[in-house]
A and B are shown apart, each in its own frame.
Chain A
Amino acid sequence: MSIAGRFAIAGVYEHPSRFSPDKSEFQIMAECAKGALDDAGLQLSDVDGLFAASMTMGAMGIIDLAEYLNLKPNYLDGTNIGGSSFVAHVIHASAAINAGLCDVALVLYGSTAASSSMAIGTGGRGGAGPAESFISPYGMTTVGSYALYAQLHMNRYGTTSEQLAEIAVAARYHASMNPNAKMRQPITVDDVMSSRVISTPLHLLDCCIISDGGGAVIVTSLERARDLRKKPVIVLGAGEAAVHQEIGSPDLLTIAAKQSGAKAFGRAGLTPAEMDFAMLYDSFTITVLATLENLGFCQPGEGGDFVSGGRIKLGGELPLNLDGGGLSSNHPGMRGIFLVIEATKQLRGEGDVRQVQGARLACVHGTGGTIGDKHSGATLILGVE
Chain B
Amino acid sequence: MPQKYTTVGGVATLIHHRGPTTLPGTPPDTSRGSTILCLHDAGGNGNQFAALMDALAADHSPVAYDQPGHGRSGGLDALESVDAMAGQLHELASGWGVSAPVLVANGSLGAAVALQAAAANPGWVKALVLVGGATDSADIEADIAQLAAITSGKARREFDRSGYAPDTDRSVYQRAFGDWVKTDPRATLGARRAQAAWSLGSAPDVPTLIVVGEHEDAATAEPAKTLAARLPKAAVETLAGAGRHGIVEQPEALAAMITAFLAANAGAGNGKG
Chain A residues engaging chain B, CB cutoff 8 angstroms: 17-23, 115, 182, 191, 194-196, 203-205
Check if B223 is an interface residue, CB within 8 A of chain A.
no
- Secondary structure of the B contact surface, majority rule: loop
B75 contact set on A, CB distance < 8 A:
19
Docked-complex contact A191 and B12, CB < 8 angstroms: no
Q: What is the distance, in angstroms, from B84's C-beta to the closest C-beta of chain A?
A: 18
Docked-complex contact B153 and A22, CB < 8 angstroms: no
Docked-complex contact A115 and B153, CB < 8 angstroms: no
- Secondary structure of the A contact surface, majority rule: loop
Docked-complex contact B74 and A22, CB < 8 angstroms: yes
The residue in chain B whose Cβ has the minimal distance to the Cβ of A198 is B153
Docked-complex contact B76 and A182, CB < 8 angstroms: yes
Q: What is the distance, in angstroms, from A296's C-beta to the closest C-beta of chain B?
A: 33
Q: 18 A-B Cβ contacts within 8 A?
A: A17-B74, A19-B75, A19-B76, A19-B184, A20-B12, A21-B14, A21-B72, A22-B14, A22-B74, A115-B72, A182-B76, A191-B152, A194-B154, A195-B153, A196-B153, A196-B155, A204-B153, A205-B153
Q: What is the distance, in angstroms, from B145's C-beta to the closest C-beta of chain A?
A: 15
A205 contact set on B, CB distance < 8 A:
153
- Interface flags for B46-77 (1: CB within 8 Å of A; 0: not) read 00000000000000000000000100111110
Q: What is the distance, in angstroms, from B177's C-beta to the closest C-beta of chain A?
A: 13
A191 contact set on B, CB distance < 8 A:
152-153
A18 contact set on B, CB distance < 8 A:
76
Bound-state Cα–Cα, A23 to B74, Å: 10
Bound-state Cα–Cα, A22 to B69, Å: 12
Docked-complex contact B153 and A21, CB < 8 angstroms: no
Q: What is the distance, in angstroms, from A199's C-beta to the closest C-beta of chain B?
A: 14
Chain B residues engaging chain A, CB cutoff 8 angstroms: 5, 12, 14, 69, 72-76, 152-156, 184
Bound-state Cα–Cα, A205 to B153, Å: 7
A17 contact set on B, CB distance < 8 A:
74
The residue in chain B whose Cβ has the minimal distance to the Cβ of A182 is B76
Q: What is the distance, in angstroms, from A242's C-beta to the closest C-beta of chain B?
A: 33
Docked-complex contact A203 and B153, CB < 8 angstroms: yes
Bound-state Cα–Cα, A194 to B154, Å: 6
Docked-complex contact B152 and A22, CB < 8 angstroms: no
Docked-complex contact B154 and A21, CB < 8 angstroms: no
Docked-complex contact B156 and A196, CB < 8 angstroms: yes
Choose one: A22, A194, A195, A203; the contact of B12 (CB below 8 Å): A22
Chain A to chain B: the 4 pairs with minimum beta-carbon distance, closest first: A195-B153, A204-B153, A22-B12, A21-B72
B152 contact set on A, CB distance < 8 A:
191, 195
Bound-state Cα–Cα, A195 to B14, Å: 33
Pick from A17, A19, A194, A196 the residue with the most CB of B within 10 Å.
A19
Docked-complex contact B154 and A195, CB < 8 angstroms: yes
Q: A19-B75, A115-B72, A194-B153 are in contact. List 8 more A-B contacts (CB 8 A).
A: A19-B69, A21-B14, A21-B73, A22-B14, A22-B72, A196-B153, A196-B156, A204-B153
B154 contact set on A, CB distance < 8 A:
194-196
Q: What is the distance, in angstroms, from B247's C-beta to the closest C-beta of chain A?
A: 22
Bound-state Cα–Cα, A182 to B76, Å: 7
B74 contact set on A, CB distance < 8 A:
17, 19-22
Docked-complex contact B76 and A21, CB < 8 angstroms: no
Q: What is the distance, in angstroms, from A117's C-beta to the closest C-beta of chain B?
A: 8
Bound-state Cα–Cα, A23 to B153, Å: 29
Bound-state Cα–Cα, A265 to B5, Å: 48
A196 contact set on B, CB distance < 8 A:
153-156
